[in-house]
Structure formats: structure tokens, C-alpha cells
Structure 1
Amino acid sequence: MSEAEFEYQEKIRRLVVKIVKHYRGKGPENVKVKLESSQLITIEIRGVLSSLSEILVKEGAVDLVAEYWKVLKPYLEKEFMAEMIETIGTQFTYNWKIYELCPSGRAIMIQLNKSV
């Protein structure tokens, strides 16, 4: 990996950490950024759920957490979309999914597609 690619990944990772801190009040456990191609970026975030979400998952209310994310998504988009576009350098589409809603393997995967 070239130094430029590494710096690009780090810029994206730092912004993702900032977004999670804004939502959660503290940073995520782990953020991995993978440049799949010149058009596709995959971001894996572990330790992203708030304390309330952790309690809901622990008590079996996983559906409430999924609904909560549907409400939170437009807020986070509004707050951080311009910064993400500036960081990536172009418009993009994205999709996301919560994986493994058990504490040991919980993660959110986000795929950014720059071919808009």
C-alpha cells in the first residue's frame, strides 16, 4: 500500500471515529477501512452502540435498536455528509448493515460507492 493510500484510509478512519464519538460519547473499539477498489470503500466499526443500545440488545430488544438506527441515520447524514464528501473527494452512495448483534461480534459495515 502506498503512503497516499494509507493517508487516505486514515482520513476516512479519523472521520468515522469522530462521527461515532459524536453519537456515542466515546470512540468505537475498532474502525477498519478497506479500499476495495478505486470506487468502493468498506468500513467496519466495532463498539459503535450507545450504552442504551447495549442495554436493549442485552435485554433482547434488538428490533428497537434497528429502529433507533433508522431514526439516527438521517441526523448523522445531515451532520456529517459534507465532511465525508470532502474527505472522500466526491459524491457517493452507501449502504450499511448491523452484523452480529451479540456483544462479542457486533459490528456495523458501511460500503461507500464513489461511482455515482
Structure 2
Amino acid sequence: MPEANFEYQEKIRRLAVKIVKDYKGKGPESVKVKLENDSQVTVEIRGILSNLSEILLKEGADELVEEYWKVLKPYLEREYMEELIEAIGWRFTYSWRLCGQKQQGRTVIIQLNKSV
């Protein structure tokens, strides 16, 4: 992997860790950044659910977690969108999904796609 790509991936990884620390109070277990091509980046974050989300999921209150994230998502976008655009170097759309049902196996996959 060219050194420029590694530095780019590392810049995005550090920002993802910073964002998670902001709402959880500690960093995720691991963050992986994959450059799919010139217009797509995948960020995989393990162990990122907030402490409240973890408790709610453990108690079977999945619907409350969805409501909680409806509030948290706009907050994170307001706080970090410009910094993220600067780090990535282009405007983007994104999608995310939660994978894994076991507490220690949970991962959030975020797909960033370059806006046209």
C-alpha cells in the first residue's frame, strides 16, 4: 500500500476514534478503514455502542436504541461533518449498519460514498 494511502486511512481512523470517544467516553476496540476506490471508503468500528445502548440491547429494548440513535446521529453530524469532509477531501453521502448481535461481536459498518 502506498504511504499516502496509509496516511489517509490513518487520518480517517484517528477521527473515527475521536468521534466515538466523544459520545462513549472511551475509544472503540478497533477501527479499520478500507479504501474501496477513489470515491468510496468503508469504516468498520468494533465495540462502539454507547454504554446506554449496550444496556438497552442487553435488556431487549432494541426499539429504544433506534430512538436514541435518531437523536445522537444529528448531533454527531453537526459536530463532526465539516471535520470529516476535510479529512476525506470530498463531500459524501453515507450509510451505516449494525452487525452482530453478541455484545462483544458488535460492529458498525459505515460506507462513505463520494457525492457528485
Deviation beyond 3 Å, 4+ runs, structure 1:
none
Provide the identity percentage. Answer: 68
Q: For 1:61 and 1:100, how far apart are their aligned partners in 2?
A: 16
Equivalent position of 1:95 in the other structure: 95
User: How does 1:6-45 map onto structure 2 within 5 Å?
Assistant: 6-45=6-45
Q: Is the 8 A contact 1:33 1:41 kept in 2?
A: yes
Give the 3 Å change call, closer, same or farther, for CA 15–26 of structure 1 in structure 2.
same
Contact 1:40 1:113 (C-alpha < 8 Å) held by counterparts: yes
Q: What's the CA shift for 1:55? A: 0.9
SS of equivalent to 2:49: coil
- List alignment gaps of at least 5 residues for structure 2: none
Partner in structure 2 of residue 49 of structure 1:
49
State TM-score, norm by structure 2: 0.95
State TM-score, norm by structure 1.
0.95
CA distance in 2, matches of 1:46, 1:13: 12
